[in-house]
């Protein structure tokens, strides 16, 4: 794409350097007089950004500032995020992005991404071609029906695809020009939004049934025609829709659902690491889920595959995964179960008491994917502690307010015995004189690296084997020093190096399975690194 000059160049977020333009560039691109006389470095610019952020108190206001920076100077934005991932990732994604989505209609500055309405169902190709880049490799798409644990936010859910794709680039170097955030506007059932004069989406009840499925089908057909090498990541669709869409298209196009498969992969990575920490075979673990929706199904399904890989039969693997939902324990006598839940329903007495079910099933780990804040009560943690020397407590629901328990509760109620990891971040804390660093099962260790491998190899499909490979690759990178700090995931500050290692392993699996569109290079690591975007001025 040809670079603009003069004032337009300074307003081009992909090509501007701002005050870093040198004297000859300022003359060449007709920038003289449009910039202060001083010539700076990108580090000086970051210093200014950090100074601005220190003066902003609320995370949501920091989010707005950083979003504005992305619109103004893309290179500086990504360089800033990479300079301190542990600080900036929570500001550009969870937990701050949840509040940003809730307030999107009131804080939106400049539209970013595509908004595809059901009214344009027969014109989706045209809308896609309005995007200025013609070779898109990654689309993150949502319909806004189940944003994090916040419910139906309609098109205000666009903040999720924007944030996810920023992480693809920040954490794994997927070039931003190949990414496209999309929201499908099928209406909303959120009465607050329907009555809000600043809500920017369709003011109608959410589309359902065949009409909805036809809308999704038209979208997939158009996207794969306009962008033939694209990978579609489904994000924050309602559970039943998420599973149905994934099952329908996973073997037809390059696609995956991060809520189902990405969450599963990072959870399994944590359990593999815990098995190492406890010096205990993975296949001896037993799991009980609180929540039996798409996320629970995704994690349990991948656990079954890991159990099988480690030598258990499929039947034995299913017996090690139990689920508990709003109507109680999943047992075979229940008549209200969805098809995807049936394999996890066991011969057992019904139970509506999660804490007592723990004493009966004797899980080594409990996994919270219920979005019910505080659901892991003191009795729950104490029961887990009574049957396990080191109870594994994973409250995975986002955002923080929906976490099934806090890190402090898990450590104090277990008397410091718990092995803890959550979906949202918790700060280090001290209990009985010992400092604990709570683990965060953040999908950011999975999907950006998976994306880098797919982008680099031009993979035709996304398979469970690729995701399980990613899980094992993340778990391999936990050091003894990390374990000593209580970590069961790599430190976020190392995210770029972790992502490279994971991407290499996934790329090897892609080549092994014959799903790459390109010829296998002699040195995969060198090849992967050569494909990564680096936020430096050119």
Residue positions annotated with a catalytic role: 93, 164
CA–CA–CA angle 451, 455, 456 (5° rounding): 115
Beta strands, E only, 333-373: 365-368
DSSP per-residue letters across 140-208: EEE-SSS-TTS---GGGGGHHHHHHHHHHHHHH---GGGEEEEEEE-----HHHHT-TT--S--SPPP-
Q: How far is CA 219 from the centre of its chain?
A: 22
Whose structure tokens read 């992909």? 14
Asked if residue 444 lies in contact with residue 171, where contact means CB atoms within 8 angstroms, the answer is yes
Determine the Cα–Cα distance for residues 403 and 503; give it in Å rounded to an integer: 30
Dihedral of the alpha carbons of 51, 57, 58, 62, in degrees to the nearest 10: -10
Torsions phi, psi for 181 (to 5 deg): -85, 140
Structure tokens at 120: 């344009």
In Å, what is the CA distance from 533 to each residue of 9, 44, 187, 340, 500? 21, 21, 36, 39, 12
Determine the Cα–Cα distance for residues 515 and 132; give it in Å rounded to an integer: 29
Cis peptide upstream of residue 95 (ω within 30 degrees of 0): yes
- What's the burial of 56, exposed, middle or buried (CB within 10 Å: 0-12/13-18/19+)? middle
Asked if residue 117 lies in contact with residue 202, where contact means CB atoms within 8 angstroms, the answer is yes
Structure tokens at 83: 């300079």
Asked if residue 188 lies in contact with residue 100, where contact means CB atoms within 8 angstroms, the answer is no
Structure tokens at 252: 């037809």
């Amino acid at each position: 794409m040809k670079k603009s000059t003069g004032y337009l160049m300074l307003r081009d977020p992909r090509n501007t350097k701002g005050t870093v333009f040198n004297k000859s560039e300022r003359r060449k691109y007709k920038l003289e007089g449009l910039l202060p006389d001083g010539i700076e470095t990108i580090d000086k610019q970051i210093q200014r950004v950090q100074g601005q952020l220190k003066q902003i108190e609320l995370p949501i206001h920091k989010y707005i500032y950083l979003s504005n920076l992305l619109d103004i100077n893309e290179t500086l934005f990504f360089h800033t995020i990479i300079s301190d991932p542990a600080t900036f990732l929570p500001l550009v994604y969870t937990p701050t992005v949840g509040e940003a989505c809730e307030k999107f209609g009131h804080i939106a500055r400049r539209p970013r991404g595509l908004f595809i309405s059901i009214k344009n169902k027969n014109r989706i190709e045209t809308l896609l071609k309005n995007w200025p880049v013609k070779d898109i490799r990654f689309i993150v798409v949502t319909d806004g029906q189940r944003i994090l644990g916040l419910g139906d936010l309609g098109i205000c859910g666009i903040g999720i695809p924007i944030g996810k794709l920023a992480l693809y680039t920040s954490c794994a170097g997927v070039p931003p020009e190949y990414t496209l955030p999309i929201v499908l506007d099928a209406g909303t059932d959120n009465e607050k939004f329907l009555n809000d004069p600043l809500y920017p989406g369709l003011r109608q009840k959410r589309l359902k049934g065949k009409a909805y499925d036809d809308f999704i089908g038209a979208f997939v057909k158009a996207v794969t025609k306009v962008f033939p090498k694209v990978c579609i990541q489904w994000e924050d669709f309602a559970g039943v829709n998420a599973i149905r869409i994934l099952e329908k298209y996973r073997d037809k196009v390059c696609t995956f659902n991060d809520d189902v498969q990405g969450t599963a992969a990072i959870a399994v990575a944590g359990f593999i690491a815990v098995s190492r920490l406890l010096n205990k075979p993975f296949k001896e673990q037993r799991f009980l889920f609180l929540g039996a929706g798409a996320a629970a199904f995704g994690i349990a399904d991948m656990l079954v595959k890991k159990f099988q890989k480690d030598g258990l039969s499929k039947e034995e693997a299913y017996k090690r995964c139990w689920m508990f939902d709003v109507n109680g324990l999943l047992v075979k006598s229940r008549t209200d179960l969805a098809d995807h839940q049936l394999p996890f329903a066991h011969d057992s007495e019904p139970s509506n008491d999660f804490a007592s079910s723990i004493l009966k099933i004797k899980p080594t780990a409990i996994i919270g994917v219920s979005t019910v804040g505080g659901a892991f009560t003191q009795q729950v943690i104490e029961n887990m502690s009574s049957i396990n020397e080191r109870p594994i407590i994973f409250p995975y629901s986002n955002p923080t307010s929906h976490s099934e328990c806090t890190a402090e509760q898990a450590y104090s109620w277990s008397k410091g015995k718990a092995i803890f990891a959550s979906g949202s971040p918790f700060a280090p804390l001290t209990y009985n004189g010992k400092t604990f660093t709570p683990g965060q099962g953040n999908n950011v260790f999975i999907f950006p690296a998976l994306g880098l491998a797919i982008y680099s190899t031009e993979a035709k499909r996304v398979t469970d084997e690729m995701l399980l490979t990613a899980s094992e690759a993340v778990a391999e990178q936990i050091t003894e020093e990390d374990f000593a700090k209580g970590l069961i995931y790599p430190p976020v500050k190392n995210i770029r190096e972790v992502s490279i290692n994971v991407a290499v392993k996934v790329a090897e699996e892609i080549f092994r399975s014959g799903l790459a569109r390109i010829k296998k290079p002699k040195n995969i690591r060198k090849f992967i690194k050569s494909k990564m975007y680096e936020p430096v001025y050119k």
